Structure 1
Amino acid sequence: MLTVGLTGGIGAGKSEVSRLLVEHGAHLVDADKIAREVVEPGTPGLAAVVEAFGESVLADDGSLDRARLGEIVFADPERRAVLNGIIHPLVGERSAELQREAPADGVVVHDVPLLAENGLAELYDLVIVVDVAPETQVDRLVRLRGMGEEEARARMGAQAGREERLAVADLVIDNDVPLDVLRARVGEVWGELEARAARGY
């Protein structure tokens, strides 16, 4: 089994790359999706978040108000560290479970937004970084996600910088390109992943 850490800054198009890799046959472990699952109503994760941050982070229906929690932690690195200390172990446990379910000769792609920030590169056989220019990130966040430019830059500022991400990359996928070019590049990368899996990395 070849384990791959896939990362990229917010707005880089990492989800599109992971979707294309799944089309080729990758087994996807999506850290963002798992992070939502571990704080669903009734979970120990949600109880721990409420204990740490108070009832104000709950929506009227008892679910986590992610926007409210985001306002709290994005402005305060210490509070963000508290949240990460709750969420990351839970995500790690579930990710390991999903990886164990994949075929022994498969390629398991872990979609991990904060891979560089949290020093997780060593957990994977190799790391792929989806790379775009910072201005592309801002444009996509404003145009596609409806953020203001100031909010977009603040979100980017809470993550690792471009150079920090590229420093942990074994392979880079440039996503400042048209979709057909991206598809072709992902196809090339998939071929390399299969070859590495076949020869034991």
Structure 2
Amino acid sequence: MTYPDPADLAQWLGVDAENPNVVWCIESAADAVEKACGRTFRAVTDPEQRTYLTRHFHGRTFVDVDDVMTADGLLVEVDGVEVTSFTLLPPNAAQRGKPWTQVELPMGTHGWVAVTGRWGWTETEIPSAIRIATVITAARLYDRRQNVAGSLSEQRIDDVESTWRVSALDTDVEILVAPYRRIWAAI
């Protein structure tokens, strides 16, 4: 599976998939949808190290991490020492086709934690709602080449009043991505 897939947008628009504007729009739309969701659906191909800060809650130690769908090759280190006894959370995420978003560490772990993994939605199909939200957003971007100011939402001929719709995401896209939004806690 390729995501984003320019062929999906080309079919939606009835244009050639090799059109460079199609590729550019679908990639930009995927960036916008991922930013709106606060998570990455496109997976990194090789393990990548990222650093996180521990937090403590009710005597337990956690690290909020980026989405990870596979424990294969997952490496957790504190001060350069590998931690082998950790728990990926939420429980049953893998069985539900959802990512793990936290690592529970042994008590007494403090500070910065280096986690190496394959980030993103690597082992499952990207949700269809995210795929269609990306195509809708990309189609909207593609259509902007005809009207760089955006879509006209109101117009009054007398006294010449015009209003353009200015919104981060299309209303339908907002509905589609809402269940996939990830809220990160501030430290």
TM-score by length of 2: 0.29
Hey, which of these two has a bigger chunk of helix by percent?
A: 1
Q: What TM-score results when the alignment is normalised by the length of structure 1?
A: 0.27
Greater C-alpha Rg: 2
